[in-house]
Amino acid sequence: MTHHTESAARTDVSIDGRTIALLVTDGVELPELTEPIAAIRRAGGTPKIVSPKESSLQAMKGDWEHADHFDVDHQLGTVSAADFDALVLPGGTLNADALRIDEKAQEFVSGFFSESKPVAAICHGPWILTEIGQVSGRRMTSYAALRTDLTNAGAEWVDEEVVVDGGLVTSRTPNDLEAFNRTLLELVAEKA
């Protein structure tokens, strides 16, 4: 392991006792699920997968290559924002497209904004935010393909590694995960 990788793996941020939901379904982009989970654990937090799926879901590498299966901790509709300290919305086109039209998913995500809890969305993850009216007037980023959707919904879209607007963290692609994870953990630690 190189020195650079070791320093990237460590975190100065502690979120001991905090539980963070990751809202995902089939088609989630693999590193956008696994890397935030690892970062949350390293910082002392507890990651929980929330999904419309009952038992397990299929992650993807890109949109075509099947990756690992993941166990679901909580089925959507059995938990709410009150049960968690923050929310992560990973990308993956199929995942994000399915969740944005799921009424239980919309209700779940809306709860984090109502309770002013941190929300972090990467890649296609911000798509659902257009459906629940949480984009207008915000400075944010996403996978480039969502730029028009977010702009049309009233966002100021920027091409940056990580953008924070109030309690919302957004990033573009898996290449931004290190900054995305660090920024999320810092926000959660601040709220603690």
Active site residues: 123-124
Contact call for residues 16 and 85 (beta carbons, < 8 A): no
Contacts of 111 (CB under 8 A, 6+ apart): 80, 81, 82
CB count within 10 Å of CB 2 equals: 7
SS3 86: strand
- Structure-token pair, residue 92: 């993956």
* CA–CA separation, 162 and 142 (whole Å): 9
